């Protein structure tokens, strides 16, 4: 068997295992996805799973990536909206919809991330962090009032709260939509400046914008761009304290 044929066989086997694992989670939640159950459903031996994914956490991350990719293709969510805030809203809705449509997988991948502090908490392996990309676009537009990192943290925490709240209590479509939209509006009201002339924007928004577009300033050397990012990051620009954030949300 040639190397190409081996790679093809390995890919097909991997896809079979991922499909089996995702089906088990959809049918019975996280507890249903045991290594033994996946092996039986996929028609493979348990050692094959460990050989392809190393351990159960590796399988969880791979399943998350697999389901997210499948879900994104099925939703056909456009990511090229000219308005970065509108694009961010689209990403938010897709994220909420995914969590509600795939509760077992959503809870599994998020709880696994929390349990593994050394892992990247932004996204499953192999999946671009859409939220970070969308927030970067808002920052590049010059209307982001907090650092990109803080904006991502706030939006991700809010989204997780909305999904868990809706999963644990019965809700009709109107309540689901209202809760989701109200939470996002509250977050955007805290972190996004209203549109206007550049000269009227807060200094923080301008500095955050400069940091976001630093890599596009190709007339500067790499060292100069790095120094520019360091300068505009000093003083924790746009980074409020937890108390300030609580006050901003009226709590």
pTM: 0.63
Would you place residue 64 in the very low, low, confident or very high pLDDT band (cuts 50, 70, 90)?
confident
The larger pLDDT score, comparing residue 75 to residue 44, is at 44
User: What pLDDT, on the 0 to 100 scale, is given for residue 185?
Assistant: 92
Provide, for the chain, the percentages of residues in helix, strand and coil under a 3-state DSSP scheme, each rounded to the nearest 5: 75, 0, 25
The larger pLDDT score, comparing residue 7 to residue 36, is at 36
pLDDT > 70 in the chain, percent? 66
Query: Within the chain, how many helices (H) and strands (E) appear?
Result: 12, 0
Residue with tokens 């300030």: 244
pLDDT digits (tens, 9 = 90+) for 210-229: 667 666 677 767 776 677 66
């Amino acid at each position: 068997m040639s190397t190409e044929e081996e790679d093809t066989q390995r890919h097909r086997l991997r896809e079979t295992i991922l499909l089996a694992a995702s089906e088990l989670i959809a049918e019975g939640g996280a507890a249903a996805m045991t290594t033994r159950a996946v092996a039986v459903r996929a028609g493979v031996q348990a050692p094959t799973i460990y050989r392809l994914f190393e351990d159960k956490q590796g399988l969880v991350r791979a399943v998350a990536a697999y389901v997210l990719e499948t879900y994104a293709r099925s939703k056909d969510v456009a990511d090229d909206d000219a308005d970065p805030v509108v694009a961010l809203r689209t990403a938010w809705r897709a994220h909420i919809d995914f969590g509600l449509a795939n509760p077992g997988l959503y809870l599994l991948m998020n709880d696994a991330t929390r349990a593994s502090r050394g892992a990247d908490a932004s996204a499953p392996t192999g999946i671009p962090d859409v939220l970070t990309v969308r927030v970067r676009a808002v920052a590049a537009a010059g209307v982001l009032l907090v650092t990109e990192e803080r904006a991502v943290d706030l939006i991700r925490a809010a989204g997780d709260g909305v999904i868990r709240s809706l999963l644990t209590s019965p809700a009709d479509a109107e309540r689901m939509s209202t809760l989701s939209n109200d939470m996002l509006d509250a977050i955007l009201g805290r972190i996004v400046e209203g549109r206007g002339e550049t000269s009227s924007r807060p200094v923080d928004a301008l500095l955050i914008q400069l940091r976001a577009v630093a890599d596009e300033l190709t007339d500067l050397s790499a060292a100069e761009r790095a120094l520019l990012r360091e300068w505009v990051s000093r003083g924790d620009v746009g980074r409020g304290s937890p108390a300030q954030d609580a006050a901003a949300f009226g709590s």
